Chain A
Amino acid sequence: MAENHTVEQHSLPPNPEKATLEGKNKYMGFWFFLGGEVVLFASLFGTYLGLRNSTAGGPGPSDLFHLDLVFIMTMLLLTSSLTSVFAIISMKRGNYKGLLAWMWVTVLLGLGFLGFEIYEFWDYTVNYELGFTTSAFSSAFYTLVGTHGAHVTFGIGWIIVLLIRYAKTGLTLTNAPKFYTATLYWHFIDVVWVFIFTVVYLMGIGG
C-alpha cells in the first residue's frame, strides 16, 4: 500500500519502483504500453519504407540528409539515455539528489536533440522546399520523424513535471515508479531513434 512517507535510506527496498502493488502494476502496464507503441512505430516505418522513393519530383532523401547533423542528434539522444540510467542507479543507491541531477541532465540533452530536430525541419522546409504536402515521401518522413519528435517533447514535459513536483519530497514508494517508468519511456524513444537513424537516414543516403 502506498504511503506518502519518505523512505529512509536504511529502510529502502532494493527495487523501490516495484515494491508496492501499484508500482508493480505501473511497471508492467508500462511495458505493455511500450509493446503497443512498437506496433505504432512499426506501422509508421512500414509506411515510410513503402513511400520513401515516392518523391513526386520533389527533393528526396539523398538531396536532404546531412549525416553530421544526424550524428550530433544521435549522440545527444544516446547520451541522454545513458544519463537516465545513471539517474536510476542513483535512485537504487538511495541518492535522491543524484537522481534529480541526472534527470535534469537527461532533460537538457533531450532539449538539445529537439532543438536540432526543429532546425532540421526548418532547414528542409525553407532551404529545400520540402513541405509536409510536397510528396508522399515528405508526408511519410515528417509523420514518422515528427511522431518521434512529439514523443520526445512529451517525455521532456513529463520528466520536468516530475522533477519540479518531487524536487523536495525525497524518494517515496509513490514517486519511485513514476521516475522509473519515465526512464523506460525515454529508453524506448532512444531505441526508436536508432531505427530512424538506420532506416531513414543511413538507408536514405546509402541505400
Chain B
Amino acid sequence: MSYAEAQKKSVLWDWLTTVDHKKIGIMYLAAGAFFFTIGGIMALLMRAQLMFPNSSLIPAQTFNEILTMHGTIMIFLAAMPLLFGFMNYIVPLQIGARDVAFPFLNSLGFWLFLFGGIFVNLSWFLGGAPDAGWTSYVPLASHYSGIGLDFFVLGLQISGLGTLIGGINFLVTIINMRAPGMSMMRMPLFTWNTFVASILILFAFPALTVGYLLLMMDRIFGSNFFVVEMGGNVVIWQHLFWIFGHPEVYILALPAFGIFSEIIPTFSKKRIFGYTAMVFATMLIGFYGFMVWAHHMFTVGLGPVANSVFAIATMAIAVPTGIKIFNWLLTMWGGRIKMTTAMLCAAMFIPTFVMGGVTGVMLAVSAADYQFHDTYFVVAHFHYVIVGATVLGLFGGAFYWWPRMFGYTLNEKLGKAFIILFLIGFHLTFFVQHFLGLYGMPRRVASYLPGQGWDGMNLVSSSGAIFMAAGFLLFIINIFVSMKNKETTGDPWDGRTLEWTIPSPTPEYNFAQTPLVRDYDAFWYEKYQGDGKIKAAEPLGDIHMPNGSILPIIISFGLFVMAFGLVYHTWIVAGAGLLIVFGAMFVRSVKEDHGYHIPVEEITKDKGGK
C-alpha cells in the first residue's frame, strides 16, 4: 500500500483495520466504558434488591447471574481494557516511539477481547448468564450451572488470549522501542508500572487459561478433573484460579499507581520523590503478587503451616505499597499543588486505598480470616482497593490525558462536582459494608431477613450507590459539554514527560523526529535546562508505517464461531471456526507486508500548520 492509498480508506474501514496504537487505545477505552456502564447498572440493580430486607425485586436466580456478571465484566471487560486503553495510547508516547512493537498483534489483542466479551454477554439472550460468581468455584460451576457457564469459560478464554498478546506486546515495546537516551531508569513511572503489570499478565494469564480449559473439558467433553467420585479434585481449580487471581489484583492496581505517579508530580510541580524506590517497590509488588495466592484459600484447610506462610507473605506486601504511599505524600510535600480534577482523584486515592490496604492486612491474619471469609467485609475490602486505586486511577488518567487523546480539555467544575459526588457515594456504599460483614452478613446473598441489625446499613449502602451513579452521569455529560474546549498547545498541564512534547491533535506518526532524551522527566529538563524544546535524535525524513489489516477481526471472529460450536456441541461449526482462524493466520504468515512510508513533505506540512 502506498501513502496515497492509506489516506483514501473510509473512516469505518480505517478503524476496523487500524494497527495504530492510538486508535486501538481509543477503541479499548470506548469498549471498556461500554462494559463499565453495563457492570455499573448491574451493581445498581443489586443494591436496589438489597436496599430492604425480604425484597423480591429481582428473583434469586437473576440476582446470582447479575452478581456473577458484575464481577466478571468489571474485572475482565471494563477495568483491564480501560487500563489497556491508556497503556496503548500513552506508553509509546512516553518512551518516544512511533508505535508498539507488534502493531498487528495489538489490533488482534483488542478484537479478541471484544469478541470474547460479546460472547460472554450473549449468554443473557441464549439461556441465562453464568451464575457461579466471578470465581466460578467447582463443582458449582461444573455440575450445578447451566449453559451460561459454557459462554463464560469460552468467552473469557478468547478475551484472555487477547490480554496475553497485549502483555507481550507492551513488554517488547518497552524493552526494544525506547528513544535514544531513554534508559530503563529514565522511564516515566506509568511506563514502569505498565512493564511490571505486563510481566504479571504474561505469567498469570496462562494459569487462568488452563483453569478455564479444564473446566471446559469437564463441562463439554465429560472429563473428570473436578468430579470427585471419579478421582477429581476441586481444590485444583481454586489453586489455578488464584495463581492467576492474585496477580490479577496487581495487574489492575499497578497501572493505576503509574497514573497517579504521573499526575502527582505534574500538579505538585515537583519531581517524583524516590524514583528508584518507586521502581523497586513496583517490582517487589509484582514479585509478591505471585507468592500469596493461597490467602484466598485460608478456610479450605491447607493446614496451619501453609496458612502462616501465606499470611506472612501477604502482610509483607504492605511494605512496598507503603513505600509508594509515602513517596506520593512526600512528592506533594512542599510542592506547589494545583488541585485539578485529576489531582483530586490522586489525592483522594491515597486515603481510600490505604483503608483498603489496612483491611487487606486484617484479612491476611489467617485465624481472623475464618471470621471475615465470605462476608461483606471482603466485599468492602476489595471495592476499597479496586475502586480506590483502579477506578480513581482511570478517572484521574482520563482527566489528565483527555486533551492528549481527544484534543479538548474536560470541564474542571463539572469534573470536581463529579469526583466529589462519586467519592461521597463510594464511601457511603462501601464503608458500612465493613460492619455488615463483621455483623455476619454473607456476601452474594440475594436477600436477607429483617431484624438482624443489617437493615439500616444496607439502606445506607444502597443510597450511596445512587450518588455514584449520579456522579458517573456527570462524567458522561462532561465528555459532551467540554467538546468546545479545544486544546491546541499540546501541553495543557505544563507536563514533564515526552507525551506532552507533540502537537495536538497527535499526528499518526507521533514524533516527526525521534526525540533525544537527556534526563528523567525529559520535557521538564529541556524546559529548565534547555531551550524548552526536545532535541531530535534523527534528521527529518520519510516515516515508515505499518499497513492496516482486517485479519485480526477475522481471526477473532473465527474463534467466536468455534466457541459457538463448542457451546452447542456442533463440532462442524467448531471446526469451521478453527479453519477460519488458521486460514487467517496462514494468510498473515505467507503474505509479506512491509508497510508504507509517509513522505517527508507531509510531515513538514504538519509541522508548519502546528
Q: Do A165 and B223 have beta carbons less than 8 Å apart?
A: no
Instruction: Confirm or deny: B138 has a beta carbon within 8 angstroms of a beta carbon on chain A.
Output: no
Instruction: Confirm or deny: A140 has a beta carbon within 8 angstroms of a beta carbon on chain B.
Output: yes
| Chain A, 14-51, CB within 8 A of any chain B CB | 21, 24-25, 28-29, 32-33, 35-37, 39-40, 43-44, 46-47, 50-51
| Chain B, 573-610, CB within 8 A of any chain A CB | 582, 586, 589-590, 592, 594
Q: Do B202 and A54 have beta carbons less than 8 Å apart?
A: no
Q: Do A40 and B210 have beta carbons less than 8 Å apart?
A: yes
Instruction: Confirm or deny: B341 has a beta carbon within 8 angstroms of a beta carbon on chain A.
Output: no
Residue among A3, A37, A134 with the highest chain B CB neighbour number at 10 A: A134
CA distance A46 to B242 in the complex (A): 14
Partner of B206, one of A25, A40, A133: A40
Q: Do A136 and B224 have beta carbons less than 8 Å apart?
A: yes
Given known contacts A47-B225, A51-B231, A132-B221, is B592 in contact with A25 (CB within 8 Å)? no
Q: Do B210 and A44 have beta carbons less than 8 Å apart?
A: yes
Instruction: Confirm or deny: A69 has a beta carbon within 8 angstroms of a beta carbon on chain B.
Output: no
Instruction: Confirm or deny: A90 has a beta carbon within 8 angstroms of a beta carbon on chain B.
Output: no
CA distance A61 to B239 in the complex (A): 24
CA distance A54 to B228 in the complex (A): 9
Residue among B164, B202, B206, B589 with the highest chain A CB neighbour number at 10 A: B206
In the assembled complex, how far is the CB of residue B584 from the closest CB belonging to chain A, in whole angstroms? 13
Q: Do A4 and B222 have beta carbons less than 8 Å apart?
A: no
Which B residues are in CB contact (< 8 Å) with A162? 589
Residue among A2, A133, A158, A178 with the highest chain B CB neighbour number at 10 A: A133
Instruction: Confirm or deny: A139 has a beta carbon within 8 angstroms of a beta carbon on chain B.
Output: yes
Interface size class of B (residues with CB under 8 A): 35 or more
Q: Do A165 and B590 have beta carbons less than 8 Å apart?
A: yes
Mask: chain A, 108-141; 1 = CB below 8 Å from B; 0 = not: 0000000000000000000000001111111110
Q: What DSSP secondary structure best describes chain A's contact surface?
A: helix
Instruction: Confirm or deny: A81 has a beta carbon within 8 angstroms of a beta carbon on chain B.
Output: no
Instruction: Confirm or deny: B483 has a beta carbon within 8 angstroms of a beta carbon on chain A.
Output: no
Can you name the residue of chain A whose Cβ is closest to the Cβ of B222? Answer: A133
In the assembled complex, how far is the CB of residue A154 from the closest CB belonging to chain B, in whole angstroms? 9
Q: Do A25 and B207 have beta carbons less than 8 Å apart?
A: no
Partner of A25, one of B176, B209, B240: B176
Q: Do B231 and A43 have beta carbons less than 8 Å apart?
A: no
Instruction: Confirm or deny: A174 has a beta carbon within 8 angstroms of a beta carbon on chain B.
Output: yes
Instruction: Confirm or deny: B175 has a beta carbon within 8 angstroms of a beta carbon on chain A.
Output: yes
How many chain A residues touch the partner (CB < 8 A)? 43
Which B residues are in CB contact (< 8 Å) with A44? 210
Instruction: Confirm or deny: B101 has a beta carbon within 8 angstroms of a beta carbon on chain A.
Output: yes
Instruction: Confirm or deny: B368 has a beta carbon within 8 angstroms of a beta carbon on chain A.
Output: no
Can you name the residue of chain B whose Cβ is closest to the Cβ of A39? Answer: B206
| Chain B, 344-366, CB within 8 A of any chain A CB | none
Taking beta carbons and an 8 Å cutoff, which residues of B are in contact with A? 101-102, 105, 164, 168-169, 171-172, 175-177, 202-207, 209-211, 213-214, 217-218, 221-225, 227, 229-233, 236, 239-240, 243, 544, 582, 586, 589-590, 592, 594
Taking beta carbons and an 8 Å cutoff, which residues of A are in contact with B? 1-4, 21, 24-25, 28-29, 32-33, 35-37, 39-40, 43-44, 46-47, 50-51, 53-56, 132-140, 143, 157-158, 161-162, 165, 174, 178
Further pairs besides A28-B101, A47-B236, A136-B227: 5, Cβ < 8 Å: A39-B203, A43-B211, A47-B225, A51-B231, A143-B223
23 contacts between A and B (CB under 8 A): A29-B101, A29-B169, A29-B171, A32-B172, A36-B203, A36-B206, A39-B206, A40-B206, A43-B210, A50-B233, A51-B225, A54-B230, A56-B224, A56-B231, A133-B223, A133-B224, A136-B231, A138-B224, A139-B223, A143-B225, A161-B589, A165-B589, A174-B592
